[in-house]
Structure 1
């Protein structure tokens, strides 16, 4: 069946505190991550960059003309696939090689990208079977406790190993905003299996999140949620992975 070409590839949605979500609406939200734009007085921050099939740069340039740091919280195709579109590119040091030299396996393309991946074509001639995450060398390395300064707002880097050795989350204490990437999201399909590659490290990471006075979780997939829901998800994850 021939699929039509999408008129618009990205959906754009405003949230509180000058935060904007971009989402690739032609792809199932389990297979394509949220992209979070955090706007500051001096520069902006893009948290995760999607698949990279279509560049988000034109949209971001229209939203703000400030300098932009793009950060991949994990080196999978659905979060780091678009990192190469940006001049200033950040990640945790342990994720740099995965992003610079992705394979079908290391980028998770082999596990999740198959026929029917897109509901609409991004452009004429696109073939799902030919999709690969494009590698790029990060220009900024972000370690645990580092602070990303946007001028009037600051976000702290939290090292969250478990999904990958270099997974991170970002925490803005002033607004109680947690950008949790793949470490924590509210999957509406409750029967879907979830097994972190490094279970002990993952459990320690989510235990750490419980100590934060979170108001809103801006997750790597699906919808935002509050602290009470965050605690429920963490407790369920801890319970299901009990020794």
Structure 2
């Protein structure tokens, strides 16, 4: 049997390399096109909120019904002041211990459920079994929301904005100083851009665009990241050192994402470290 010459194999290798190179070139061209036209992509214009589970305080939005939901059920648009069949889209949703908050695509924030600590942001301490827009934030475009056990925090920008005021933090409810949403800077300067906020059971952590974290609330389990535990409500303070391992000296780390559990906190650094 006669095998192909060396020159044939060289020619075949060059041909295959050319095919792979051409395929990579095509993929790059497609990616470039997608990147250039991403503003014109048709995103979904309609979405829905589904709720289920414990409903003692009406946190599942079932007005006049105390029964618990065992399967997910859609909340009708009429509950949010939208006509039946209207195109409603939702940007974010969060659950507290017994209250719920949702951000509509027009930047409106709705809350419902328990309210004994003012966590619904309506200035009262009366619970509500149906969604209602938070009037104090009607002049703001809410971008995201987080619920603690009995408090709520949201990131928003003014609707009438000349571009000088960016994402700011609003807080209310238990240990947040008000039953209405109030601007909160804490340990950050007033012009700090807030990237994310996360609420635990009795503590809150906010992340700045610069990758800094500040935390406030209770610290009986060390959830504020200060290197010690203590009793009583603690004021806001920047977490300025992180240890990769317990036996290493803490160092400065830039954070890109944070999440609070009931009594603990976790974060991801810009290097992908947890």
More contact order relative to length (CA 8 Å, sep ≥ 6): 1
Structure number having the greater strand percentage: 2
Settle same-fold status: TM greater than 0.5.
no
Q: What TM-score, normalized to structure 2?
A: 0.29
Over alpha carbons, which structure has the higher Rg? Answer: 2
Structure number having the greater helix percentage: 1
